[in-house]
Amino acid sequence: MNAVRGRDFASLVEEIIVRHPETSLKRRWEEAQRLDPSSRAAAYWIRESPDIVNFAWIIPAGILDITWFPTRQMSTLVFLRISEIAGMEIREAAGAGAALGLPVSGDLVVTLYASNQRSSLVWVAEANASDPLRRFAEEIAQLSTRPGSTG
């Protein structure tokens, strides 16, 4: 499942969380809600597959990202301010995710670099689901041109 606009972001996330109760995914979502109580995304990306569950969404102050690896029971929550976005790279090739050594499969990889050079956000989409990720990347690219986007 993946999306950019349309259905309410929070309700989509809640549908996924219900399938994974009492996990670090649920705890990370609760932490994210403290950072963004409205959970109203300007745009978002959701990937749910056996090897990864990923929610990324744009809020006025920046981008929130939750990634959970079910087989490892490992999760992350990252908040990147708009002012900290240093660049973005989009790679498209068969097996691009594996070629980059990522633990998920996919043919489209979007990497968002932070100015602090300590972190980056990486999203991977299968070929048949690349359009929503591409649109999400376009929304991110527009952030720096919006009024009041200094973070």
- Give which of 71, 34, 39 is closest to 55, Cα–Cα: 39
Give the tens place of pLDDT for each residue, 16-58.
999 998 899 999 999 999 988 877 788 899 999 888 899 999 9
Distance CA 103, CA 68 (A): 12
Are residues 80 and 121 in contact, defined by beta-carbon separation less than 8 angstroms? yes
Distance (Å, rounded) from C-alpha 71 to C-alpha 13? 19
Distance CA 67, CA 34 (A): 17
All residues at 6 or more sequence positions from 119 whose CB lies less than 8 Å from its CB, including other chains: 78, 80
Cβ atoms 62, 56 nearer than 8 A: no
62-69 and 85-92 beta bridge pairing: unpaired
- pLDDT recorded at residue 144: 62
Domain boundaries of the chain, sorted by first residue: 9-143
The position carrying tokens 């708009």 is 82
Residue where the block lists tokens 């649109």: 135
CATH of region 9-143: 2.30.29
Nearest to 141 by CA among 54, 46, 68, 58: 58
Each residue's pLDDT tens digit, 76-110: 999 999 899 999 999 888 888 888 887 788 888 89
Which tokens belong to 74? 């490992």
Q: Would you state the structure tokens that stand for residue 103, as one six-digit string?
A: 């633990």
Nearest to 45 by CA among 75, 73, 67: 67
Give the pLDDT band (50/70/90) at residue 145: low
pTM, two decimal places: 0.84
